[in-house]
Amino acid sequence: VPPSSRVDLQKRARSKWYTTAVVSRLKYVFNTKLRKYYSHAWNCNTTIYQEGRKLRSRYCNTRVCNVCTRIRTAKLMNGYVDQLMQLEGIEFVTLTVKNCIEDDLKCCVDQILKQFTLINRNIREKKGIKVSGIRKIEVTYNSFTNTFHPHLHLLVDKNSGSLYVDEWLRRNPDSNIKAQDVRKADKGSLAEIFKYTTKMVLRKNGELHFYLKPLNAILECLYKRRCFQPFGIVKMVSEEVDELDCVEYDDLPDDFGVPILWEWNECDWVYEGDTLTGYIPPEMEIKFIE
């Protein structure tokens, strides 16, 4: 494996900068159950230990942390894509219900996951079709209607997507038929399913908008839930971001044989006045909306 580059470190700095900005506010959302969770994210990668050309740090393993999300996405793709590519007739399926208000979000997600389990069992036991694939729960927020949109994305084999949609609409007659979707899976959809489980930020008129209370509601709802679930012959890949081995980089500042502790400071890691990555945040306003 070739060494990573300073560009990779700048991406990590950008992720750290975004994460620090949002969790520093999320920690103080009234009555949040996740204050310690957000503190763990705030402390993620605050110190990077350099020895020679190698770096190591501690990771928080939270879903609100962009640094850990990038690692988790790469890990899931590495673990699942090769398995999924071995299947035949793969389709990308979206199953949705009507948007709900915050008070109903947890119940709605519970019901969606229960319905999927029953549908999977029905297709396997009553229709005699042993489908393999993966499902992901995702929740987004609509700031115009102040409602939440929990939904499922599936990758299924044997061209069975329409079976899932038919069963879904039979059990959820109030769902919009046009909101359900089945399409042939390609590399793009294989990659798409492993991205975020919720959008942390919305871009509006050149500004970054963080909707704090809705984002907290989504994270509380998904806390300790298994967002990715394989079935059939697809083997499970852990979502956990474990402590990583030292990563080697090809263009680090010389440590002159003495280990260096790089400490996070606003937008980069610094040591004796030097910066590790040279990352400069975008010139746009961050707007936090309750």
**Cβ atoms < 10 Å from Cβ of 173:** 7
Rounded to an integer, the average pLDDT of 149-168 is 97
Share of the chain above pLDDT 70, in %: 97
| Mean pLDDT on 238-263 | 80
pLDDT of 201 above 80: no
Query: Mean pLDDT over residues 268-272, rounded?
Result: 94
Residue 213 has pLDDT above 90, yes or no: yes
Q: Are 123 and 167 in contact (CB under 8 A)?
A: yes
The predicted-structure confidence for 41-79, as pLDDT tens digits, reads as follows 999 999 999 988 888 899 999 999 999 998 898 889 989
Bridging pattern class, strands 286-289 and 207-211: parallel
Output b/e per residue, 204-221; b: 16+ Cβ within 10 A: eeeebebbbbbbbbbbbb
Distance (Å, whole) CA 145 – CA 240: 34
Q: What is the pLDDT of residue 93?
A: 97
Residue 193: what residue type?
I
The answer, yes or no, to whether residue 241 has pLDDT greater than 90, is no
State residue 148's pLDDT score.
Answer: 96
Contact 162, 182 (CB under 8 A): yes
pLDDT surpasses 70 at 1: no
Mean pLDDT of 151-176: 96
Q: Say yes or no to pLDDT of 2 above 60.
A: no
- What are the DSSP E strand ranges found in the chain? 47-51, 54-56, 91-96, 133-142, 147-156, 181-184, 202-204, 207-211, 228-231, 247-248, 260-265, 268-271, 274-275, 286-289
Query: Which residues, including other chains, have CB under 8 Å from residue 19's CB and lie 6 or more apart?
Result: 41, 42, 44, 64, 65, 66, 67
Residue of higher predicted confidence among 239 and 203: 239
Q: Give the confidence band of 100 by pLDDT, cuts at 50, 70, 90.
A: very high
pLDDT at res. 288: 86
Q: Per-residue pLDDT for 198 more than 90? A: no
Rounded to a whole number, what is the distance in angstroms from the first to the last CA of the chain?
Answer: 45
Backbone phi and psi for residue 93, each to the nearest 5 degrees, phi listed first? -120, 140
Q: Which segment of 90-99, 106-115, 206-215 scores lowest on mean pLDDT? A: 206-215
Label residue 28 by pLDDT band (50, 70, 90). Answer: very high
- How does the average pLDDT of the chain come out, rounded? 90
pLDDT at 184: 94
Which has more pLDDT, 179 or 248? 179
Residue 244 pLDDT > 80: no
pTM above 0.75, yes or no: yes
Give the least confident one: 20-24, 112-116, 251-255.
Answer: 251-255
**% the chain with pLDDT above 90:** 68
Can you give the pLDDT at residue 245?
Answer: 61
- pLDDT-based confidence at residue 239 (cuts at 50, 70, 90): confident
